[in-house]
Structure formats: structure tokens, C-alpha cells
Amino acid sequence: MRRSRNVKIVATLGPSSETLEMIEALHRAGADVFRLNMSHGSHAEIAQKHAIIREVEKRTGSTIGILADLQGPKLRVGVFSGDSELLSEGADFRLDLDPAEGNSARVCLPHPEIFAALEVGASLLVNDGKIRLKVKECGSDFANCEVITGGTISNRKGVNVPDVELPLAALSEKDRADLEFACELGVDWLALSFVQRPADVLEARDLVRGRAAIMSKIEKPNAVERFEEILAVSDGIMVARGDLGVELPVQNVPPIQKRLVRRCRAAAKPVIVATQMLESMIESPMPTRAEVSDVATAIYEGADAVMLSAESAAGDYPIEAVTTMDKVATEVELDPTYTEIIESSRKADRETVADGIVAAAREIAETTDIKAICCFTQSGTTALLTARERPRVPIIALTPLVGTARRLALSWGCNCVITDPHDRFKLAVVSAVLAARSEGFASEDDHIVVTAGVPFNVPGSTNILRVAPCDERLIYASDPE
């Protein structure tokens, strides 16, 4: 299903979007990748959604990516004798390991690893930062705090600790079980929550064993500080602005978002901008003007994809939310300013033959009447490098591997086509021509650029480029071999 835009849309599935009819409608409205939130639903329910997506894929003839988002460790306070308490600014409040019900003076925080890492002066944020505590005194099983920002604290509210690196692995026991289940199910991407260090990603990679691509969610200050190291061991990045905005001053998030998106593009790794993009559409058929500008900003910055969370999972208007995002993306990409911004930010380091080939393909396409860049790819690397160039013409990614095609469904501008394996470049060119014509990107009177690696089926071997006529008879006539 050909889109009229290059940026991709990720839609989260949930109670509002779990039937075959709704999931197909969301895909037709513009969703390119579906997110399965492992925090909600049983394995049986997740498997059912996965099966429906694959059925939609068959019905539409599309290539659809599936992203399983692992929950990560959840840090929460215990319960209160009255279910909630009001904490006043300036008051003292104690967190400890005592499982007894809490009151206005204390509550259980059943996470000894937090106490082990705390220092005097550190902040603890409760209930998405609505309550802020400052540590005055702490030990291995307690923290005496001052209430800096008061409010109502209630049972099992979440706790964030922004000032310290916690001695916690990104994968809980639940995550490990969910990871294995998702990989066996056949998802294309796994999103890791609570990433603090590169070792968190490497641990997941050992467990995944190549069965899915790994996306690191950047939602903690430590991940921002060590971003280059995390990016190097990740296949993709999600800028999870919700948690970032809790643990960091909110004014810090926009420049961080811009910086991370640019670094991902330079590294030729897909990046999703996520959280609260059209949040008012959970209850309203129309977004706010500010939300539309927020989506547009992420697209102007060069993000590979923008994501809907509760808007499509639990909202009243999931189709309208996807349609709105599709329309915003289409309009932004028609803006000449968008092209200027994208091309002025093309600052990738080119060190390999493959880098040079895809850069040359983009320059040829933009200086002559070329209708598309067709890249043969085994692992997806050639398509990712081509997407990094952000060419003005469509990218057709041809691969014999359906898994590669589905992973590329997340990447900017990639129109994925499953093709037969080839061992001769001429036959690959003919296959590219037929794909360009059948998908509506070119007619028999047009030309395309074809890139590939010879010998075939060797990942990372891109080393050849050809400008080809879209009449396959001319290819055979000009090259009798």
C-alpha cells in the first residue's frame, strides 16, 4: 500500500483497536507499524493481535512491522491505610522497607536497590512528578525526605529517581518471559524500557539472538548522558518524551529530542518520536493546534516515525488520530521548507564504499529525471543508508527476506517489496524495474537507479550502482549477458 509520505506512523493497539476490522482500518488510514504494549494483556491476547496484523498484511498486500514494547521494571510505593494521604510542602515524609500500610508520615518503598543508590540531596518523584521529595537522610532501608512539592499520594503510585543510576537491570523477570514469547511469536522490533547503560541493550541482544531488531527507549537522564554508547549497540531508538519530561526539566526535552533525532539519522538507525503527540484525541475527534505543531516539529526534525499511544489504544477516536497524523505528515513533506531543513542537516560521515554508493544514487536521482532508487538489501543496511540520505525520490527496498522488509517498514521513505533471490545483477535490475512499475513509481519510459552488492546475499556488501531504463527489453538488448 503506497503512502503519500515518507515518515512512518506507529499505532499502539489496545481495547479500542483489537478487532480485525479496526486494525485493518487503522492500517488503511495510515498506520505502518503496530505497537504491542507488553504491559497490558496476556500472552494469549498479544498473540491474537499479532495474528490479526498478519491477516491484515495478507488482505492488503502490505508489509507491516510489529513492535513489542517491554514493560521494564516498575518502581512503586506500597499502600496506605486510607488508600491515600495529602502531603504538604515542607513536611517530613519517610520511605522505608516496612510492609505495613502507610500514613501521612511514611510509606513502604519495596525496592532496596533504590535505597542502595540514594544520596543526600537526591530527588524522588512520585506519580509522574506531581509530588517531589528531597532526601535529607538515607540508609540501606530508609530515606527521610522533605516534601518539596506536595499533593495527594495514593496506593502503588510510580516512583522516579532521576539523579542516580539505579543498580537495576532493564529486564525484569516478566520482561525476560515476554521477550522470549515475543521473539517466538515473530515480532520485528523489541523496545526496551528503563535503559540506563549499553550493557542493558547487550543483555537483551544476547537473549534475542537475532530474532528481532532492538529499539532502546530513551526515557532516563542516564540514557541521555550515555546516548552515543547506547546508540552504537542499538538497532533503533525511541525518544520516550513522557518519562524524560518527568525526570528532567520539561524545557530540556525539546533540544534533547532534536539532538537525538539528528544523531540517529547520522548513524542510519531509525528513530521514533513518541508520547502525548495527539493526546487530546483520546477524548476529542480534533487535536489541539499545539499537538499538530508538535507532530510537525518531529517530522521537520527528520524523525523516521511518529507514534500514537493511548490515542489509538484506548481512545474514542483511533482512526481519526491516525488520519490526522497522516494528513499532518503529508502536508509537512509538501512544504519546501521541509526539504530545505532535511537537506541542510545531511551531515553523515561517509567512510565506506556503501556510503559512497548511496550518496551517489541520491545525487544522480536529484540531478536527472530519475523516478526511484531501488536498493537490493539482505540485512536492511543498504536501505537504511539510502534512507539516511533522505532523497527527493521514492526508495524501493527489495529483499528476499520478509523479516528484513517488515523491519524496514519503520524506516523513513522505505517502500518494501519482497523479491526472489538473485545471483546475477542483470536479473536484479529487471526485478527492480518490474517492482517500480507494478508499485506505480515509474512507467516503461522512465529510469530508475539500482544499487546492490555483488556477490549477492552478503550483508553489507553494497558496491554497485546502475541507472536503468524501465523497459526490461532495453536492459536485455544493451546487456546480452
Point out the domain boundary residue: 108, 127, 160.
160
User: How far is the C-alpha of 346 from the C-alpha of 280, rounded, in Å?
Assistant: 34
Query: Is residue 194 located within the same domain as residue 135?
Result: no
b/e map 81-110, b = 16+ CB within 10 Å: eeeebebeeeeebbbbebeeebebebbbbe
Selecting among 8, 12, 220, 275, the annotated active-site residue is: 275
pLDDT digits (tens, 9 = 90+) for 35-58: 999 999 899 999 999 999 999 999
**Which three three-digit cell numbers place residue 399?**
529483499
Query: Is residue 199 located within the same domain as residue 324?
Result: yes
Query: Is residue 137 located within the same domain as residue 245?
Result: no
Averaged over successive runs of 10 residues, the pLDDT of the chain (481 residues) comes to 93 97 98 96 96 97 97 94 95 97 96 93 93 96 97 94 88 96 98 96 97 97 96 98 90 96 96 96 97 98 97 97 98 97 82 91 94 94 95 96 97 95 87 93 95 80 90 68 48
pLDDT digits (tens, 9 = 90+) for 388-417: 999 999 999 999 999 999 999 999 999 999
Query: Is residue 303 located within the same domain as residue 367?
Result: no
**What per-residue confidence (pLDDT) applies to 349?**
67
Query: Is residue 205 located within the same domain as residue 155?
Result: no
Contact call for residues 447 and 470 (beta carbons, < 8 A): yes
Is-catalytic flag, 297? no
Query: Is residue 104 located within the same domain as residue 136?
Result: yes
Query: Is residue 184 located within the same domain as residue 326?
Result: yes
**Which three three-digit cell numbers place residue 166?**
539505579
Residue 438 CB contacts under 8 Å (≥ 6 apart), including other chains: none
Contact call for residues 289 and 328 (beta carbons, < 8 A): no
Contact call for residues 409 and 8 (beta carbons, < 8 A): yes
Selecting among 5, 8, 12, 35, the annotated active-site residue is: 35
Selecting among 217, 241, 407, 437, the annotated active-site residue is: 217
Phi, psi of 360, deg, nearest 5? -65, -40
**What per-residue confidence (pLDDT) applies to 479?**
59
Selecting among 76, 94, 263, 346, the annotated active-site residue is: 76
For position 136, which CATH number holds? 2.40.33.10
How far CA 84 is from CA of 67, 89, 110, 245, 418, in Å, comes to 36, 16, 17, 25, 56
Is-catalytic flag, 35? yes
How many distinct structural domains can be found in the chain? 3
How far CA 183 is from CA of 19, 50, 67, 213, in Å, comes to 23, 12, 11, 10
For position 48, which CATH number holds? 3.20.20.60
User: How far is the C-alpha of 375 from the C-alpha of 460, rounded, in Å?
Assistant: 12
Point out the domain boundary residue: 332, 367, 384.
332
Query: Is residue 176 located within the same domain as residue 301?
Result: yes
pLDDT digits (tens, 9 = 90+) for 222-278: 999 999 999 999 999 999 998 899 999 999 999 999 999 999 999 999 999 999 999
Query: Is residue 201 located within the same domain as residue 328?
Result: yes
Query: Is residue 174 located within the same domain as residue 233?
Result: yes
* DSSP notation for 415-450: EEEE----SSHHHHHHHHHHHHHHTTS--TT-EEEE
**Which three three-digit cell numbers place residue 234?**
542499538
Point out the domain boundary residue: 279, 300, 332.
332
Query: Is residue 265 located within the same domain as residue 174?
Result: yes
Query: Is residue 272 located within the same domain as residue 185?
Result: yes
Tell me if 3 is assigned to some domain. no
Tell me if 338 is assigned to some domain. no
Domain encompassing residue 454: 353-478
